Amino acid sequence: VILLDFPGMAALLDGEKSYSTPESADQQIREILPVAHDMAELRYLLSEAFDWGAVQARLTKIRHHYCDAFMDGKAGERAAMVIVEALAGKEPSGICR
């Protein structure tokens, strides 16, 4: 995973110009994952010279915390079930706990 940056992004994330805050998952992830600020940096991050092994532990932590705490690849299925239950007005099954 490589995050992309653009001119003015820092100003957009500062203050109340967006729904993002320093505590938001998107900004927390930006502190952990590699961010490309220009084409040269993107090329470097995509090259064999970049040490993805050094980032792997952080990627696993993010995946566990934000994406799939069960680490079984079924986060999307669980999310869909919760959405279907909510749309049907059913009580939550507790599948995400």
Residue pLDDT, tens place only, 36-91: 999 999 999 999 999 989 888 888 888 888 777 788 888 889 889 989 989 998 77
Q: Is 12 contained in some domain?
A: yes
Sign of CA dihedral 97, 28, 63, 90: positive
Q: Is 37 contained in some domain?
A: yes
Distance of CA 5 to the CA centre of its chain: 14
Q: Predicted confidence band at 94 (pLDDT cuts at 50, 70, 90)?
A: low
Q: How many domains does the chain have?
A: 1
Q: Is 40 contained in some domain?
A: yes
Q: Is 44 contained in some domain?
A: yes
Domain that residue 43 falls in:
3-50
In the DSSP assignment, the letter for residue 8 is T
Q: Is 59 contained in some domain?
A: no
pTM over 0.85: no
Q: Is 64 contained in some domain?
A: no
